[in-house]
Copies of this chain bind each other. A is one copy, B any other.
Amino acid sequence: MTTSTAPAAAPQHSVIDELVCFALYNASHAITQTYRSVLAPWGLTYPQYLVFVVLWNEGAMPLGDLGRRLELDSGTLSPLTRRMEQAGYLERLRASDDARVVTIALTAEGERMREELAAVPACVAGAMKLDQSTAMQLRGMLHQLADDTRAFDAASSDPTETTGAPDAGR
C-alpha cells in the first residue's frame, strides 16, 4: 500500500530450507552473484577470477593443472581461457617438449590485474559478514564435505574400487 513496504513476499519458510544441500546450492549462487556485480566493471566472471588467483599465486601452468586445482575439466577451461586470451589477460602456448600440452601464462596485462583487483576479496568479504573463526570453521567443513563427496562419486562410478562391501539390498 504505502511506500516501499515489503509486499508480503517475505522469505516464507519452506521445506527446502531444511536441506543442507539446498543451503549450499543457494549460498554458492548468492556468492557468485556478489562476484558478478563486483567483477562487472572488468567484464570478468567468478571462474575467470579464480583462474587469475591461481595464476597470480602459482605462475604459468598447463591447462590440465589449472583444471585439477579448480576441479574443472577441459570442456569448461578450454573456452574460458580462450575468452581470457581474447581479452588480453593470458596466452596459451604449446609446450615445445610435449606438443599435447598447452601452457596458460598471464600477459603483462594479466599480471597488472593483480593490483587492479586487489580490493575484490575485501569487497566480497564485506558482503559475507563472516568473522575469521566462523570463516575458517566453515571452510573446514566445506573442504571435508567436498572431499568426502568426490570420493563417493569416484567410487560409485569406478567399479575397480574395493571400498564398500557389496551390500545387496539396502
Residues of A within 8 A of B (CB): 1, 4, 9, 11-35, 37, 46, 50, 53-54, 57-58, 68-71, 121-122, 124-130, 132, 134-139, 141-143, 145-146, 148-150, 152-153, 156-157, 160
Question: Residue A15 contacts which of B17, B23, B121, B150 (CB distance < 8 angstroms)?
Answer: B121
A12 CB, nearest partner CB in chain B, Å: 7
How far apart sit A30 and B15, CA to CA, in the bound complex (Å)? 19
Report B-chain residues with C-beta under 8 Å of the C-beta of A121. 13-15, 17-19
Question: Residue A130 contacts which of B35, B71, B129, B145 (CB distance < 8 angstroms)?
Answer: B145
A134 CB, nearest partner CB in chain B, Å: 7
